[in-house]
Structure 1
Amino acid sequence: MVVSQSDIASDVGFQIIKNGGNAMDAAIATAFALAVTHPTAGNIGGGGFIVYRPTSGAAVSYDFREAAPNGSSPEMWLKDGKYDYDLHHNSHRSVGVPGTVAGLYMAWKEQGSKPWKELVMPAVVLARDGFEVSHGLARSLERMLPSFKKYPATLAQFSKNGQPYQAGETLKQADLARSLLRIAEQGPAGFYEGETALLIEQDMKANGGLITREDLKAYQAKKRDVIKGSYRGYDIIGMAPPSSGGVALVEMLNLLEGYDLKTNGYGSAKNQHLITEAMRRAFADRAQHLGDPDFVSDMPIARLTSKEYATNLRKTINPAKASKSTPTSFTWPAESLETTHLSVVDAQRNAVSLTYTLEYAYGSRIVAPGTGFILNNEMGDFNAGPGLTNERGQIGTKPNLAVPGKRMLSSMAPTIIAKDGQLFMVTGSPGGKTIINTVLTTVLNVIDFGMNAQEAVDSGRMHHQWLPDTLTVERFGFSADTIKLLKAMGHNVVEGGNQGAAEVIILNAKENLLEGGVDRRPADGGAAGK
């Protein structure tokens, strides 16, 4: 089974499995297809993470997070001594060195079985010959046209001479097809060297960006250890830093393991309060401690993911009253929250959980002329500047300040769960800092409340990230009574729109069946399986 945010891409990946490929082959083919059919977040100009659990052998992960160009510095987002949001998030300087191609290639080289070119060519064909624009994509592209107008190559690629595509029309992307063909034929060298690298460098030089051909050629994907934890007898396998997803998820599950969530009842104010307090503490620890392990050597990961730490931290949670987050303290007085994700499982029960991103929807919105793909604005995930933590949610802690070659801290949380040595669940989601909490929700829904894959994906979601001190809940996701009780406990509750787009696979071992849960919040998602 393959589950992703594009039914076209899911079909591409599943066809690879039908043709004899394994889960990693399918994941790679799906990811390249998403770069064509889901330009919001599918990409070759961004980066991400893979967690892989083979049927036999140890689980591994692959880190292809973007890296800071050589010209980066901790103060690079300050203009005349003041923080500049647009420079940080909406400029050529916000583009990190892309990692997707290198990461997919490393994972294929170690775990794939089909020829590399065979996995990339379906995406080449989709870009060259085009595909039918769905209603969801047509709405998305039309909404983005004002932003695209700032970048002529982007506007040319995703509009018809400045006019929006209509549903049912064919979107062809000739430049993207040529970029993908170079990757298919040359591997990473077809992206990080030669024509593509030159085109990126030229656009950077012309617009004040920092990425050079030397930065691109120097980029390397990395194999990382996985984060391991347990929850009510289930084994949790997550992504290690520079993703904070695995650490934060295990920390939150450890905290919640001390409560009887099932008896409290799904969606109850009591449960939502406890879950919020777990989120609040994990995100505070994330801000204080986590960053790129190649630059931050003293991350207390073993302590943060330990049961003992959770037992002590749980004592600071008042079961009837909200804590208060403050930018001046990481301690808690004891008292008596666009990216895309895909999940793959093959017939042998090898499993892949892959999350990759451009940061914002459509990333920086920048297409370097001639390349055909959108570049990320992932440098925006570095902290604003030394000491700039404030109550509005701006963070200035040291571990995640920009430094040449450093990878920015991520909230991506590709996760695999096993039970008694067998695969049980594959989950993940897009959504910026909300990713971790969306993934947490899917895990709790299945393990504590017995939901199937689709029910777990459809259920309401909430998000708290320490700062700002706000509990955001999906509109209509929880009862009015629950929200009223949460406010009475002292939570600053704000109703918002949809959160994330989880893609879940559950293995029903008793019947040897795979359940797929496709998130229907955004359009166009799909599962393909047999």
Structure 2
Amino acid sequence: MVYFLSVLAAVWVVGGRQQNALIQQQREGISLEFNLEEKPTPVKNEEGKKKEVEAEQGVVAADHGRCAAVGVDVLREGGHAMDAAVATALCLGVLNPIASGIGGGAFLLHRSSETGLSQAFDMRETAPAAASQDMYNNNEQAKKYGALAVGVPGELAGLHTAWLQHGRLPWKRLVEPAIRLARDGFPIARYLGSKLLVFQSKIMGNPGLRSIFAPNGELLKTGEICYNKKLAAALQAISDHGPLAFYNGSVGEMLVEDVKKAGGIITMDDLRNYRVEVSEPVKFEAFGHEILGMPPPSSGAVGLSLVLNIFASYGNSNAAKGDLGLHRLIEAMKHMFAIRMNLGDPNFVNVTSCMLDMLSSEFASKIRERILDNTTFPPDYYMNQWSQLRDHGTSHFCIVDANRNAVSMTSTVNSPFGGGMVSQSTGILLNNEMDDFSTPTEMTPDHLPPAPANFIAPNKRPLSSMSPFIVLKDGQLAGVIGGSNGIFTIPAVVQVFIKHFIFGMDPLSAVQHPRVYHQLIPNEVSYENWTVLDGEHYELSGEAKLFLEKRGHELQAMENGGICQMVVHNLRRPTTAMLKRRSVGRNRVFHGMLTAVSDARKDGFPSGF
């Protein structure tokens, strides 16, 4: 089903009640004024918490601990997992704008424990109506930086659409924490502080970014208080009037004007006509689990399916174990990356054949026959026709509520700090999602032709590596998992899934275990050699390195990789309340202990109660 964001089509429901005067309010404009002299009351810095929590009622695993706590506060009040998703996502857009925010887009998976039904909410950015596949022929850098790189934002529309269907708490309650943090100030966390230094030139090169992160001419440091009062005012309007403030009101009008002045092509019609697409998830079986993932333009679900089916074709789950299993994993991922570049937005290209192949056990068996245990091969052996999508940073969180409803959501502004542009009138950081499209004339780093299935067209959504998943076992929720950091996302999630759901490694160890990556070109295995912000060091063992080198792999150390969040629902360990019931019954929802893990690589931490 497709949901259209247009005041001509419907009146939004705000705070759980119909607002019949909303359209007129939008026409009259919305005030974005605050008393900027209010005494700031910054939120306490929550760093140093545990990377793993165990809880009976509900949990949130996010890559910023304060936002995980915001989500759990909503769950404590009786909120649905979707309520917590709205509050968590909006919080992350304020505290971690390096990777997400309402100026970007997202994929969200939901599964209802009450009905057993699941949904995939596609709120990915779209190309503006004035976009074309040759729009960057004379200026390739404009695809990456600045106003012309901005896709039509979809996150806010998607969150509201999902909340309308499942939310229990008022919309205003869910937006309030993000308003307060942006208005009253928040301490710069270690991860954001480190990235401000890395991207200093990007920050200092844009007046909007500079006003937020270098208000006195110097970059804010970790622990210092950051304010974004313009964003707080925009969020207040969105709280009071719903998403129409953004998609057909003064927030959107100011944002469009800022983009236009900077040379962009987004219009108010683009915002009014944005649609959230709601469909059934991709579903597949692997090693005794049913896995739910996003359909294209996400390549995560079909990518995970292909790799797991390749391992299943060996006929023994031990095929993925040890150093030999690592070699096989690398080879499987190389085949997967080559094949996935035939995917694109299914509203514009026919991806059925490619999807069916990537979901097929028979196809996986044929791929497995091309994987040899004693060697690796040059890139052209993997039949990579098209240049690889090298997308960038994102943010992921997992939520399970007291009723065992589950949400897995990955949000993005594409590159770190998007295209390096903040709308100065609204404080909203803008994405550079147009860089996730392929263009006919671009010079690709792997010297392969750009993928035609991913060429730009008006209203089209670019291909993505975002990989939110929900995992079931015998009809019961078993876990929620996902990752971030662009092209590293799928390999990271694959490795965490294998370690926990196949080999039974405890959740924290599965997430923190050192990982490997491959991008086909260059033809080298990237392995983690990484001391992260909390002092933990991740590095592939010397024995594994030697094993891979003997099979012809070229190895390259790196201080980078995917970031995974995970929630495990222990189906062998009932909660106290469940034990009091004595039996589950054939159609009853099992309530097991919840374990939430946040990846130390991004210095987040989970929360639960």
What whole-Å deviation, never above 9, does each CA across 1:137-158 have from its counterpart, x for those lacking one?
3333344332122211110012
Correspondence for 1:26: 84
SS in 2 for 1:354: strand
1:382 to 425, 430, 437: 437
SS in 2 for 1:374: strand
Correspondence for 1:348: 403
- For 2:449 and 2:163, locate their aligned partners in 1 and report how far apart those are by CA, in whole Å: 36
> Contact (CA 8 Å) 2:320, 2:329: kept in 1 or not?
no
Correspondence for 1:196: 251
Higher Cα Rg: structure 1 or 2?
2
Instruction: Report whether the alignment pairs 1:269 with 2:323.
Output: yes
Correspondence for 2:349: 296
Kindly state the Cα deviation for residue 453 of structure 1 after the two structures are TM-superposed.
Answer: 1.4
2:99 to 41, 49, 59: 41
Correspondence for 1:138: 193
Aligned partner of 2:371: which letter? I
Aligned partner of 1:45: which letter? G
SS in 2 for 1:341: strand
What whole-Å deviation, never above 9, does each CA across 1:258-294 have from its counterpart, x for those lacking one?
247764675x33111110111111111111x210011
> How many pairs does the alignment contain?
517
TM alignment of 1:46-445, pairs within 5 A:
46-55=104-113, 56-79=115-138, 84-259=139-314, 263=318, 266=321, 268-287=322-341, 289-300=342-353, 301-326=355-380, 329-330=383-384, 338-385=393-440, 392=446, 396-445=450-499
Change (3 A) 1:484 1:352: same
- For 1:51 and 1:527, locate their aligned partners in 2 and report how far apart those are by CA, in whole Å: 19
- For 1:217 and 1:111, locate their aligned partners in 2 and report how far apart those are by CA, in whole Å: 23
- For 1:107 and 1:364, locate their aligned partners in 2 and report how far apart those are by CA, in whole Å: 27
SS in 2 for 1:254: helix
> Contact (CA 8 Å) 1:77, 1:385: kept in 2 or not?
no
What whole-Å deviation, never above 9, does each CA across 1:473-524 have from its counterpart, x for those lacking one?
111531123223212322232211131221111011221211111100122x
RMSD: 2.0
Kindly state the Cα deviation for residue 193 of structure 1 after the two structures are TM-superposed.
Answer: 2.1
- For 2:315 and 2:501, locate their aligned partners in 1 and report how far apart those are by CA, in whole Å: 12
SS in 2 for 1:505: strand
Instruction: Report whether the alignment pairs 1:477 with 2:531.
Output: no
Aligned partner of 1:77: which letter? Y
SS in 2 for 1:297: coil
What whole-Å deviation, never above 9, does each CA across 1:314-343 have from its counterpart, x for those lacking one?
112112211322399448xxxxx8100000
Instruction: Report whether the alignment pairs 1:528 with 2:583.
Output: no
TM-score, normalising length: structure 1? 0.93
Change (3 A) 1:495 1:187: same
> Contact (CA 8 Å) 1:327, 1:391: kept in 2 or not?
no
- For 2:305 and 2:443, locate their aligned partners in 1 and report how far apart those are by CA, in whole Å: 25
Change (3 A) 1:218 1:483: same
- For 2:485 and 2:311, locate their aligned partners in 1 and report how far apart those are by CA, in whole Å: 22
- For 2:381 and 2:315, locate their aligned partners in 1 and report how far apart those are by CA, in whole Å: 31
What whole-Å deviation, never above 9, does each CA across 1:93-150 have from its counterpart, x for those lacking one?
1111111001111111112121111111111111111122333333333443321222
Aligned partner of 2:347: which letter? D
1:3 to 43, 57, 61: 61
What whole-Å deviation, never above 9, does each CA across 1:151-200 have from its counterpart, x for those lacking one?
11110012232212233332221101011111112222111222222222
> Contact (CA 8 Å) 1:384, 1:394: kept in 2 or not?
no
1:501 to 563, 566, 573: 563
Kindly state the Cα deviation for residue 356 of structure 1 after the two structures are TM-superposed.
Answer: 0.5
- For 1:128 and 1:394, locate their aligned partners in 2 and report how far apart those are by CA, in whole Å: 47
SS in 2 for 1:240: coil
> Contact (CA 8 Å) 2:62, 2:565: kept in 1 or not?
yes
- For 2:381 and 2:135, locate their aligned partners in 1 and report how far apart those are by CA, in whole Å: 22
Kindly state the Cα deviation for residue 447 of structure 1 after the two structures are TM-superposed.
Answer: 2.2
SS in 2 for 1:353: strand
- For 1:261 and 1:129, locate their aligned partners in 2 and report how far apart those are by CA, in whole Å: 56
TM-score, normalising length: structure 2? 0.81
SS in 2 for 1:367: strand
SS in 1 for 2:99: coil
> Contact (CA 8 Å) 1:518, 1:527: kept in 2 or not?
yes
> Contact (CA 8 Å) 1:196, 1:371: kept in 2 or not?
yes
> Contact (CA 8 Å) 1:32, 1:120: kept in 2 or not?
yes
- For 1:161 and 1:433, locate their aligned partners in 2 and report how far apart those are by CA, in whole Å: 36
> Contact (CA 8 Å) 1:389, 1:397: kept in 2 or not?
no
- For 1:290 and 1:392, locate their aligned partners in 2 and report how far apart those are by CA, in whole Å: 18
